[in-house]
Amino acid sequence: MTIELLMFDMDGTLIDSMADIAAQVNRSLVAAGLEPHPQDRIRGLIGQGPRYVFDQLLEGKAPAARLDGLVVSFETLYAKHLVDTTAVYPGMMGVLEHYKGIKKVIVTNKPQPFADALVAKLGLAAHFAAVYGAEAFKARKPDPMPLLESCKRFSVKPSRAAYVGDSTADMQASKAAATVSVAALYGYGKPAAVRKLKPDFEVTAPAQLVGLFN
């Protein structure tokens, strides 16, 4: 299959950031006098921003002011611990090199400052034409706008673009944008839930992305 634009989610797709995110989520909860949560519980919530994570952990019962405080606490802590354990998934750098002839962008719900910092710290900058974080567009995934706008900025028809992501939000956005959807089942999303959305391709390791496109 020939494509002209290859788009990637970040957490759980390009990089394994689970431990660092979960650690700072729990530190923020404890600092606020709340109970920490198992990493496996937090894992399934990553992908729609820290406010969503806290809202879900608190079962939608926390007032806006409390959520605001938790997000500020998390972002302050996370900025200091971005790459304590975070790393590019094994095999992913080879994938990026393999597709060096295709324009590549990152489209993530991660706050832009963190996305930019991680790209720089993990040596990813040379591989991507753009990094679009949570603030880049008026809407976030699962809304298709970030993918549609990315295609528009590079003058590529959605049908000639592919999006690689690990979550249901990623697949929902890709399907709604009519881009080629690639489910990264090695990531943080629940495979059964992701598969229900019928992605065009599934991979269980980054290296399997090689050869899907030309």
What is the CA 172 to chain-centroid distance, rounded? 13
Burial class (CB in 10 A: 0-12, 13-18, 19+), 24: buried
Handedness of CA 23, 27, 60, 112 (dihedral sign): negative
> Would you state the structure tokens that stand for residue 39, as one six-digit string?
């990493």
Q: What domains are there in the chain, each with its CATH number?
A: 5-16+88-209 (3.40.50.1000), 18-80 (1.10.150)
Q: What is the pLDDT of residue 47?
A: 84
The confidence score (pLDDT) of residue 49 equals: 86
pLDDT of residue 168: 96
Output the pLDDT for position 28: 98
Q: Quickly list H helices, the chain.
A: 18-31, 39-43, 50-57, 64-80, 92-98, 112-121, 145-153, 168-177, 191-195
Residue 9 annotated in active site: yes
Q: Is this structure's pTM higher than 0.85?
A: yes
Question: What are the average pLDDT values for consecutive 10-residue runs of the chain, which has 214 residues?
Answer: 98 98 98 96 90 96 96 97 98 98 97 97 98 97 98 99 98 99 97 98 98 93
Interstrand relation of 15-16 and 130-132 (parallel, antiparallel or unpaired) = unpaired
Give yes or no for a contact between 109 and 141, defined as CB atoms under 8 angstroms apart: yes
Catalytic residue among 9, 20, 55, 170: 9
pLDDT at 48: 84
